[in-house]
Chains A and B, each alone.
Chain A
Amino acid sequence: MSVDKATVARIARLARINVPEDRQEELVGELNGILDWIAELDEVDTSAVEPLASVTGHGLPRRSDEVTDGNRVDEVLANVPETAGGFFVVPKVVE
């Protein structure tokens, strides 16, 4: 499998990175270099193998459903680029 410029543009869009046209061109080569190399995995027969997502050997721990933290509005907003009235401000999304 390999990517072309249209695919790179689609991935950039999914990743929300505005990649300029000339850079998209370069990324085709760079990404295909990596994808060709990882295609080595096709040699391995994994038909009877379960995927491994976690190595902890234990399930997720549980605790009672109680509020243990919160009411930290000032801390949450301490690094915000733009704020008003205790909210995050972003460009208008609804006309």
Chain B
Amino acid sequence: MADLLSLSAVEARAALDAGDVSAPELTGAYLAAIEETGALNNFVAVTADRAMEMAEASQARIKAGEAGLIEGIPVGVKDLFCTAGVASTACSKILGGFTPTYESTVTANLWREGGVMLGKINCDEFAMGSANETSAFGPAVNPWQASDGTDLVPGGSSGGSASAVAARSALLATGTDTGGSIRQPAAFCGVVGMKPTYGRCSRWGIVAFASSLDQAGPFSRTVADNALMMQAMASHDLKDSTSTDAPLPDLMAALDKGVKGMKIGVPSEYVMDGMDSEVVALWEKGQAWLRDAGAELVEISLPHTKYALPAYYIIAPAEASSNLARYDGVRYGLRVEADSLDDMYGETRAAGFGDEVQRRIMIGTYVLSAGYYDAYYLKAQKVRRLIKQDFDTAYETVDAILTPATPTAAFPVGRKVDDPVTNFLNDVFTVPANLAGLPGMAVPAGLNADGLPLGLQILGRPFDEATLYSIGRVIEDAAAFDAVPSRRAGGA
């Protein structure tokens, strides 16, 4: 079975069409892998029966010559996506047992294209976190271990998705990215993660965190698989008024375009104090690879970079405090009984939300409250415009931008930090793309001295995901990243 797990999605599609493997065989191999890697806690629910039914149906469509883009490919779904008839909890106690009667647009698109749902995947509670440690189901673990055997976080919030794809217990997985929640865990786990342009994927049926920033995107082990999944999940959706009708280019065709003649920006503001020297070295290596492949590397300036994180930590909590007002114990999820309606709300929300979520709701409530709205919220929105203008100016001269994906490699599970701000710094390179609505991709590019993966980030113009796949493919080829995480190489 080990052979089946080593196939990429593109290879598996070819093997399925050729009849070398059946969809139920492939799904069976992944269900077995989920069991083997149970200690990683990356799945919160395995829908084995449904998976086998979907795989049988896929097999029938393959035989009939009606295969979709990802027909028969096993997919893990972040628990933030609503899936009809399957509990969808955002890994929060307040949504314990919530079983939607409807399917999110993104997952519906994936199933229409033949994807096979393996189950629901662990994430930070309401996608708030950068280490998958705020989940009500406990932390998901990175299949990569430190050389001394210490367990590491997979990143977050889509930590379980990155962990599962890296551990070969899902061939593809969905994620969402509000401030880096796809790209940072992808980098920590050595897989490919894409946050498309805001509006590219419908947000309908995805539990909302910060609506002006949230975007869904794919996780995969290869750049080509990522393009394939992106092609299947994106769509224009009338049920999401921010969804775009801009046509999605042929992403698979972009894979082999190369970077000859492209201008790629290197922002001087992304050199930060206290940055891991190995991250800097890898970034330079990435620039050399692209130069060798015929691109022109250009130093650029994004002067408001340092203000992106503080602006984000006003805007995201403000939107979250509004979005999460709906969890009141009346219509769904947890309810703590009390004598008055107000106390029922207050007790339900105190018991149902974890510490990090409560803290962000409180910050959001404060910055939106009378007397503080202009000083905080409006100020942050003005800074957001300046950050977007930085990128607009840069894209007058460059086609894309190359940065590190994260300031460090993955850190130990349970690392104690004294103040919440330290945790926020994980997202320093990823947050600006969310504020500006731009597409960004994390690609594994090497290992550090401790044998842990490090990633590079490529940022593009709005709706120009295709260029990111062209560049990502060049980096993937040059890096020849083929290392297998320690908890899979030596058995889980």
Which residues of chain A have a CB within 8 Å of any CB of chain B?
Answer: 1, 3, 7-8, 11-12, 14-20, 27, 30-31, 33-35, 37-44, 46, 49-58, 60-61, 63, 72, 75-76, 78-82, 88, 90-91, 93
Secondary structure dominating the interface of B = helix
List of A residues within 8 angstroms of B329 by Cβ: 81
Give Cα A15 to B321, complex, Å: 8
User: From residue 433 to 472 of chain B, which have CB atoms closer than 8 A to chain A?
Assistant: 435-437, 462
Which A residues are in CB contact (< 8 Å) with B306?
40
CB contacts under 8 Å to A, within B190-245, are 198-199, 212, 238, 241-242, 244
Q: Name the contact of B362 in the complex, choosing from A15, A41, A51 (C-beta under 8 A).
A: A15
For the complex, is B395 an interface residue (Cβ under 8 Å from A)?
A: no
Across the interface, do B330 and A49 meet the contact criterion of CB distance under 8 Å? no
Residue in B98, B307, B358, B378 whose CB lies within 8 Å of A40: B307
Q: Which residue of B has the minimal Cβ distance to A15?
A: B365
Contact status B362-A11, CB under 8 Å: yes
Contacts of A63 in B (CB 8 A): 238
B98 and A41 contact, CB distance less than 8 A:
no
Q: Is B382 an interface residue (CB 8 A)?
A: yes
Q: Which residue in chain A gives the minimum CB-CB distance to B437?
A: A55
Residues of chain A with a CB closer than 8 A to B100's CB: 79
Q: Within the complex, what minimum Cβ distance (angstroms) separates B254 from chain A?
A: 22
Instruction: Select from chain A the residue with minimum beta-carbon distance to B197.
Output: A55
Q: Is B344 located at the chain interface by the 8 A CB criterion?
A: yes
Contacts beyond the supplied A79-B97, A79-B332: 4 A-B pairs with Cβ under 8 Å: A34-B359, A44-B383, A79-B98, A81-B333
Chain B residues in 8 Å Cβ range of A72: 101
CB pair B331–A31 under 8 Å, yes or no, is no
Distance in angstroms from B136 CB to nearest chain A CB is 16
B258 CB within 8 Å of chain A? no
Contact between chains at B380 and A41 (CB < 8 Å)? yes
Complex: A34 Cα to B342 Cα, angstroms: 28
Chain A's interface: helix, strand, loop or mixed, by majority? loop
Q: A19 CA to B379 CA in the complex, in Å?
A: 29
We find that the number of chain B residues with CB closer than 8 angstroms to chain A is 72
Q: Which residue of A lies closest to B321 (CB)?
A: A15
Q: Point out which of B98, B321, B385, B462 has the most chain A C-beta atoms below 10 A from its C-beta.
A: B385
- Whether B366 lies near A11 (C-beta < 8 A) is yes
Closest to B313 in A: A38
Interface string of B363-398 (1 = CB under 8 A from A): 101100100100110111111111010000000000
In contact, A79 and B99 (Cβ under 8 angstroms)? yes
> Is B339 part of the contact surface with A, judged by Cβ < 8 Å?
yes
- Residue interface mask B316-354, A partner, CB < 8 A = 1: 000001000100111111110111111111110110010
* Contact A41:B379 (CB < 8 A) given known A75-B101, A81-B330: yes
CB distance B388 to A18 under 8 Å? no
Cross-interface CB contact of B330 among A3, A12, A18, A90, cutoff 8 Å: A90
Are B363 and A61 interface neighbours, CB within 8 A?
A: no
- Cα–Cα, bound, A14→B325 (Å): 10
Contact B241 A60 (CB under 8 A): yes
Q: Tell me, rounded to whole Å, the shortest Cβ–Cβ distance linking A59 to chain B.
A: 10
Shortest Cβ gap from A75 to chain B (Å): 4
Of A34, A43, A58, most B-chain CB atoms within 10 Å: A34
Given contacts A1-B375, A41-B307, contact A52 B385 (CB under 8 A): yes
In the complex, A40→B287 CA distance in Å? 32
Whether A37 and B421, one on each chain, are in contact in the complex, defined by CB atoms closer than 8 angstroms, is yes
Name the residue in A11, A33, A52 with the highest tally of chain B Cβ atoms < 10 Å from its Cβ. A52
Most chain B CB inside 10 Å of its own CB: which residue of A18, A42, A49: A18
**29 interchain pairs (CB within 8 A)?**
A1-B375, A15-B365, A16-B349, A17-B346, A17-B361, A30-B359, A31-B359, A34-B359, A35-B363, A38-B314, A38-B376, A40-B306, A41-B383, A42-B379, A44-B304, A46-B379, A50-B385, A51-B382, A51-B384, A52-B388, A55-B435, A56-B242, A79-B100, A80-B330, A91-B337, A91-B340, A91-B343, A91-B344, A93-B341
